[in-house]
Amino acid sequence: MIYLDYAASTPMCDEALHIYSVLNKEMFGNASSLHDAGGQAAYTLDYSRQRMANMIGGQPEGIYFTTGGTESNMLIVQSILNGLPQHKKHWIMSALEHHSMYNLAKMLEQQGYELTIVQPDQEGRITREVLIPHLRANTGLVSVQHANSETGLIQDLAALSPLLHERGIMLHSDAVQTFGNVHIDVEVMGVDALSISSHKVYGPKGVGAAYLKPGTPWRSVYPDTLHEHGFRPGTVNVPGIAAFVAAAEMMTEQMEMHQERYATLRKYFIAKIQEKSIPLHWIVQENEKKAVLHHIVGCFFDGYEGQYVMLECNRSGVCISTGSACAAGHHEPSPALQALGASGREALQFIRISFGRTTTIEELNVLVDILTYLKHRQERSLSR
């Protein structure tokens, strides 16, 4: 099997597997227990919190461990809105957000919150000029995904945060795709809250983290909750958290090397597509104005639905995607793709290829051969 869907999930790395195995055997105590086993788990949890804070340039008291990126998104947004003054009932998110944010929006609307979904500019960017017309006196929070999971397009959050903070508006960012792949510093970016996930950086599934900058107003979604300083309920998964931190440290230490490799693979893949005249075109045209995650290649296969292309690749032992795995099963155009100018028909033709640490040129050649076969079959069908 050739796996080219690393933006959806990654295998656990050896560093994470080792930590996970050892701690599940030797440090399985409940971190809230007062005996020595609990104390050991609590120490590991605090140590992990410090190391995670170091990786994002934050403070350890702002780190809250969760079950993943979706829960981080949902708890952060709700907790901040709960903690803001009653008149701050308006919040904003970009049209490029993860599926979980759209689900959350429906629930918050029923609770009396008003949402504005902001469309990007023609370059796919959320800029000051894009945001300003939508900011109100009662706006309390803006959420802008750091990089879109279908396109890899990175937003310049540092350019947005001063505009929002001078108006007393909080800034949250879903950094699930960027964490471990590009340098993140919450102080430089100016974000008040950040969502990250373990299984995107070769850690275990079911683990993530939320960062809330100390001093950011918030009130728990779950009253009287004791775990994670009241942020979320449930016994804390200390072995999983330690494994997440180990994987994240491995990725952050090697990120420059991996991004160089991904850039080379991306350039090679695009060149082969052009050489073979395969009818793929890219949702994000790279230029000097845009920063992208090199390991995510989002494109449209003209003449085929993306789901069909994905299934044909799967039949040949190659795993690719038709977009965010969290939206799988929803056979409808992606809001993010439509926001970037794709028609409904084009959005259904979307496929995503994403590279990982072990992806090779030979693997990409297999994919190119499959896409070439589909191209020739399409040409034969049209010539009849």
Active-site annotation holder among 299, 313, 319, 326: 326
Q: Which CATH architecture has domain 2-6+254-383?
A: Alpha-Beta Complex (3.90)
| Among candidate residues 99, 135, 2, the one with its CA nearest the CA of residue 333 | 99
List, edge to edge, every strand of the sheet that includes 280-282: 280-282, 296-301, 350-354
Same fold flag, 2-6+254-383 and 14-248: no
Q: What is the CA radius of gyration of the chain?
A: 21
| Among candidate residues 145, 25, 22, 169, the one with its CA nearest the CA of residue 73 | 145
Q: What is the pLDDT of residue 329?
A: 52
Residue 311 makes CB contacts below 8 A (sequence gap 6+) with none
Distances (CA, A) of 8 to 70, 173, 362: 13, 18, 21
* Residue 344 CA from chain centroid, whole number: 23
pLDDT tens for the 384 residues of the chain, in order: 999 999 999 999 999 999 999 999 988 887 777 788 778 888 999 999 999 999 999 999 999 999 999 999 999 999 999 999 999 999 999 999 999 999 999 999 999 999 999 999 988 999 999 999 999 999 999 999 999 999 899 999 999 999 999 999 999 999 999 999 999 999 999 999 999 999 999 999 999 999 999 999 999 999 888 888 889 999 899 999 999 999 999 999 999 999 999 999 999 999 999 999 999 988 776 655 578 999 999 999 998 999 999 999 999 999 999 965 555 555 567 788 888 888 888 888 999 999 999 999 999 999 999 999 999 888 777 766
Residue 286 makes CB contacts below 8 A (sequence gap 6+) with 292
- 3-state secondary structure (DSSP) of residue 123: coil
- Both tokens assigned to 211: 């960062």
Cα four-point dihedral sign 295, 299, 304, 307: positive
Domain boundaries defined on the chain: 2-6+254-383, 14-248
- Separation between Cα atoms, residue 289 and residue 269, nearest integer Å: 22
Tell how strand 170-174 and strand 139-143 pair up. parallel
Question: For this structure, is 299 an active site residue?
Answer: no
Q: What does the chain come to in residues?
A: 384
| Among candidate residues 381, 284, 288, 287, the one with its CA nearest the CA of residue 342 | 284
* Fold entry, domain 14-248: Aspartate Aminotransferase; domain 2 (3.40.640)
| Burial track 221-242 (b if 16+ CB lie within 10 A, e otherwise) | beeeeebbebbbeeebbbbbbb
Longest CA pairwise span in the chain (Å): 77
